Structure 1
Amino acid sequence: MITLSTTHEEITLGLPDRTPVANLGDLIDAHLHMPFPFRRNLHEAEAAAGVDAWLRVWGLTDEPGVAAMIARTRPAELASYISADVDSGLLQIVANQIAYQFVFDDRAEDLGQRSPGRLLPMLFESIAILRDGRRPGTPLGAALADLHRQVRERCTPAQAARWAWKSREYVHGLLYEAVAQAQPYLLQAGDCTSIRSLIAGVEPFYPLCEAAQPDELSPAELHHPVVQRLSRLSADAAVWIPDLFSAVKEQRTGGMINLALAHQRENRCTLQAAVMLAIRQINGTIKEFQDLYAEVEPDLSPSGVGYVEGMIGWMRGCYHWSRTVPRYADVATVPAVP
């Protein structure tokens, strides 16, 4: 077991029993606390076929690189891991939305890195569709309009409204990301987590967690301060976990909005030590979630419990998906000890 020094504290690499680990992926597995067991949806293969068909209908896989990206990211697999209990219809909506956001996010990153202003046309179109019901003018916009239709048909009006509002917040967040990437100063961890919470793209799925329940949650339950805090904690943990596994890829491509890379810049340490700092932050977030859930669970209705369990699905699913998805395979090429 080897100890590295950062500007604030020492970070120990290896297993608790002092057994060394081979690569950065093993180091993450050894230290990340994931108390929620692996699960997957029985309809995963059906959802994967449905995603491929849906993307073809709207012409998205005709665009260069999209089909290969979908093969590397496996959106239906992620949907299956996070939504293990939902029916096939709702799973398909979740899988379609994940695939759409992967396409949208990659397009936004490509345009935004060249110039934040290049993002405006696609952002304007998305907001007009989500807020005003405008007709789309591009294949990506047409896919979003169809996804919005699917959500309205499956969800209650209130749930669909929350979905649209959270989706607009995600769209606006991508402009923050582009501006931050273009700035000459180095983002600190706090700046990164603030932007990451906007562009995570997790909270737009929580209204679908609501729709999976037998009864609609009451406003008092949905807006309970503890339930709101659980929503924030779970969304943060769900997106920070992939940051651990994607840090190598992001570092090689010049990405900055990544929790581990933010810790590396702030502490001027190795990537391995930065990943350990990020793991400590994630473990603390998951522990706070568990403590608060135990506190509020007795007061929740069965649908309220199911809603929070949907949040757990995101943390659990993002971990198990990130460990094996080809998009993040580079994590296994970096040794655990620098």
Structure 2
Amino acid sequence: MITLSATHEDITVGVLADPPAADLRDLIDTHLHMPFPFGRNPHEAEAAAAVDAWLSAWGLTGEPGVAAMIARTRPARLASYNGPAMDAGLLRIVALQIAYQFVFDDRAEDVGGRSPGRLVPMLCESIAVLRDDRPPATPLGAALADLYRQVRERCTPGQAARWSWAGREYVHGLLYEAVAQAQPGLVRTGDCTSIRSLTAGVEPFYPLCEAARPDELSAAELHHPAVQRLRRLSADAAVWIPDLFSAVKEQRSGGLINLALAHQRAHRCSLQAAVLLAVRQINATIEEFQRLYAEVEPELSPAGIGYVEGMIGWIRGCYHWSRTVPRYADTVSVPAVPLAP
């Protein structure tokens, strides 16, 4: 039995690793429920080369810190793990979108950290591109416009419209995050998870999961209550898993919108105990996803099944990417059990 002491309570975990977990990554691996098998796309190297060329073509690699950030985050690896069966063309679009969102997110964090209001021009440009098809005024906006063009060329009009709508939700989430970071004392755990579901930018990829199949989902399947719930559960699990591995990095940089750190603030406990609380929440989410999918799968068409399998890819892929990517290497620097004071 491992008991991790908190200020107001003891958080006890009744599962021992054999051998015991050495560091925080081991602790996550020991307790996280991951029922979906690992996969990797054979076109990953091509996608990585395409990311480098695309970022360079739109002038983004030359901006301070971008090249180093891409080397640490490896967008093509995340795309490969999330979509192991995607064709090379679609994998390329997914990898470009991941790279774009990493650049956009880091820029928003830098600008919004100085003042949430400074984000407005940047966010408004994105909304104008995605909603009104207006010409961009910055290299980042031009990259988004080109990405939108590629999505429309590959996807059906309905899929492209869903991609655009989900992208706008992501943009709005970054403003909520900046406001929350400016007033951390007001942010509750529920607020954190709500904001995180937007800033993760997972749902914009689900229309691309649709596009991986030859047939488009029917409106009845797309809006089926069970499918909508599966979409929510999978997006939450897919973003909360990286929060486990990024908690050390976020804590050191003053980050706020992170599931593990939200539990740490709420329970006034150690980071290790907070991570385990977050793991419990993720496990419950994945288990609900599995139960619900088993119930609804007999009703789904092959396109519907493929769509849900794409959601599973994001849960599985985010786990394997997070535990190996250099961006979160600090996870292994923290012991599995808090050091005695």
Settle same-fold status: TM greater than 0.5: yes
TM-score class normalised by the smaller sequence: over 0.9
Residue 198 of structure 1 deviates from its aligned partner by 1.3
Q: How has the CA–CA distance of structure 1 residues 147 and 221 changed in structure 2, closer, same or farther, with 3 Å as cutoff?
A: same
Mapped contact 1:15–1:31 kept (Cα < 8 A): no
Instruction: Map 1:2-151 to 2 at 5 A.
Output: 2-6=2-6, 7=8, 10-12=11-13, 15-16=16-17, 19-151=19-151
Q: Does 1:176 align with 2:176?
A: yes
Mapped contact 1:14–1:21 kept (Cα < 8 A): no
TM-score normalised according to structure 2 size: 0.97
Q: List per-residue Cα deviations over 1:271-293 (Å, max 9, x = no partner).
A: 00000000000000000000000
Using the alignment, how far apart are the partners of 1:288 and 1:247 within structure 2? 24
Aligned match of 1:164: 164
Residue 213 of structure 1 deviates from its aligned partner by 0.8
Mapped contact 2:184–2:256 kept (Cα < 8 A): no
Q: Does 1:190 align with 2:190?
A: yes
SS in 2 for 1:29: helix
Residue 11 of structure 1 deviates from its aligned partner by 2.6
Aligned match of 1:226: 226
Mapped contact 1:93–1:150 kept (Cα < 8 A): yes
Using the alignment, how far apart are the partners of 1:220 and 1:184 within structure 2? 41
Q: List per-residue Cα deviations over 1:26-61 (Å, max 9, x = no partner).
A: 000000000001101010000000000000100000
Instruction: State the one-letter code of the partner of 2:34.
Output: M
Q: How has the CA–CA distance of structure 1 residues 184 and 248 changed in structure 2, closer, same or farther, with 3 Å as cutoff?
A: closer
**Alignment size in residue pairs:** 337
Mapped contact 2:3–2:10 kept (Cα < 8 A): no
SS in 1 for 2:61: helix
Q: How has the CA–CA distance of structure 1 residues 8 and 299 changed in structure 2, closer, same or farther, with 3 Å as cutoff?
A: farther
Mapped contact 1:244–1:259 kept (Cα < 8 A): yes
SS in 2 for 1:62: coil
Mapped contact 1:202–1:235 kept (Cα < 8 A): yes
Q: How has the CA–CA distance of structure 1 residues 186 and 5 changed in structure 2, closer, same or farther, with 3 Å as cutoff?
A: farther
Deviating runs (4+, > 2 A) in structure 1? 5-17
Instruction: State the one-letter code of the partner of 1:65.
Output: G
SS in 2 for 1:4: strand
Question: Which sections of structure 2, spanning at least 5 residues, go unmatched?
Answer: none
Aligned match of 1:337: 337
**Relative to structure 2, which stretch is displaced further, 2-11 or 167-176?**
2-11
SS in 2 for 1:274: helix
Aligned-residue CA RMSD (Å): 1.1
Mapped contact 1:2–1:14 kept (Cα < 8 A): yes
